[in-house]
Structure 1
Amino acid sequence: MVLEQVAFDIETTGFEVNDVVTAVGFAVPLGCRVFVHAGSAAVGTGEIEDEVRERVGERVVVSLHEAESELLRAVGEFVAERVCGEDVLLVAYNGERWRDGFDLPFLRTRLVATGVEWPFRDVPFADVMPVISRRFNTTVDGDEQSSLAAVYGTLCDGDLNMIDPFTESAEAIDAFEEGRLADLVTHNVADVLRTRALGRLAEQYCAKSEFDVKSLTPTEYG
């Protein structure tokens, strides 16, 4: 059975334990779903959706949340409805590798800090990054490419790199602080679509056994 890949990616204000999640995006077959920590920013979802859709050419649904905890709860509700079942595989790029990874470790700490339950129950997960790094040659001019944008540009058509308003992921921090939420969402959408493209590429050229699929269900659940 071929699993339907759902790619996800998060944006944050930094890498420290007290930094917060500013956006969580998912790429599903019908488009992208992005949850945004908007705070008190005076902007409507329709305005952001229209601008992002025009930039990326994809259906994008955005919800704005005043608090990080509210955003994380909304993510949990979405996952329970859409990212579950035996036919779905959640994927990320450098989401959680052995002794490394970013998205899931960061989320765990922020969920603890905000008192929000773990959202990925009954969800199988695979990190695309180890598959790509082990089974594809990504060396350019003597340097092995490792970042999501660089690897995508090397192995895919590179079109999504053109729509990303940022050259470095750290620019997402400034966008959030300055209230440029359309830029933040566009970057997040570019990342989830790049992750999806690499996941599908790995599906086409690599054996199923190359995907280290694991369950994200907590030990004390169920």
Structure 2
Amino acid sequence: MSDSRLTPVAFDIETSGFDADAVITVAGFAHGLGESLILNTGGHSKVDRNTLVRALDEESTGTAQLDVVDDEGELLEAVASFVTNQLDGDTHYVTAFNGETWNGGFDLPFCRTRFLQHGLRWPFGDIAYADMIQVVDRFNTQDQTDLVGVYDVL
């Protein structure tokens, strides 16, 4: 009998703020083979990619991949490429902390809006999703609600 469990792929974004004109500055995936990070430099040419790759390799639990792009549109295209080429709805699911819940969440709704604004197709369509906020809220008996505390609980 084959193992029918889905493999989790953690997803997170960072943005320039919460306003309507905010942009996604970083998108990242952590998966069984390592981490994939996409950095939007906003066109700043002084970014030293080699230094960033070395730092990422030092922190990675596996293979670290870094894509450096000049704007949010390129970042979204790189996210879509990763999802299309690396994730399979039959074997993977995406997970995040407060990424999307029935009454809120941030990462996926923000991404959905930005994909629409850039005229790009939503790449996560057939990928299952699990939000870790409910797990942490239910099982966190140490009252640690900051990001570091959440990761310690997980």
Secondary structure of the 2:103 match is coil
Counterpart of 2:114 (choices 110, 113, 136) is: 110
Partner Cα distance (1:152, 1:23) in 2: 19
Is the contact made by 1:138 and 1:151 (CA closer than 8 Å) also made in structure 2?
A: no
Aligned ranges 1:80-159 → 2 under 5 Å: 80-134=84-138, 136-139=139-142, 144-153=143-152, 155=153
Identify the residue that residue 32 of structure 2 maps to in structure 1: 29
| Shift of residue 93, structure 1, vs aligned partner | 0.6
Is the contact made by 2:34 and 2:60 (CA closer than 8 Å) also made in structure 1?
A: no
The one-letter code matched in structure 2 to 1:26 is F
Is the contact made by 2:39 and 2:69 (CA closer than 8 Å) also made in structure 1?
A: yes
Secondary structure of the 2:116 match is helix
The one-letter code matched in structure 1 to 2:39 is V
Between structures 1 and 2, the one with greater helix share: 1
Partner Cα distance (2:140, 2:122) in 1: 36
The one-letter code matched in structure 1 to 2:57 is R
Is the contact made by 1:17 and 1:110 (CA closer than 8 Å) also made in structure 2?
A: no
| Shift of residue 57, structure 1, vs aligned partner | 4.3
TM-score by length of structure 1 reads 0.63
Partner Cα distance (1:67, 1:35) in 2: 11
Task: Give the structure, 1 or 2, with the largest relative contact order (CA under 8 Å, sep 6 or more).
Answer: 1
Residues 128 and 48 (structure 1), Cα distance of their counterparts in 2 relative to 1, 3 Å cut: same
Is the contact made by 1:69 and 1:114 (CA closer than 8 Å) also made in structure 2?
A: yes
Alignment deviations for residues 116-169 of structure 1 (CA, whole Å, 9 cap, x no partner): 2212121111101112212x1333xxxx3323321223x2xxxxxxxxxxxxxx
Counterpart of 1:51 (choices 51, 55, 61) is: 55
Between structures 1 and 2, the one with greater strand share: 2
Identify the residue that residue 14 of structure 1 maps to in structure 2: 17
Is the contact made by 1:4 and 1:89 (CA closer than 8 Å) also made in structure 2?
A: yes
What root-mean-square deviation, in Å, do the aligned CA atoms of Structure 1 and Structure 2 show?
A: 1.6
TM-score by length of structure 2 reads 0.88
Partner Cα distance (1:85, 1:137) in 2: 29
Partner Cα distance (1:113, 1:25) in 2: 20
Q: Structure 1: any 5+ residue segments left out of the alignment?
A: 156-197, 199-222
Partner Cα distance (1:86, 1:57) in 2: 26
Partner Cα distance (2:71, 2:140) in 1: 42
Secondary structure of the 1:101 match is coil
Q: How many pairs does the alignment contain? A: 149
| Shift of residue 45, structure 1, vs aligned partner | 2.8
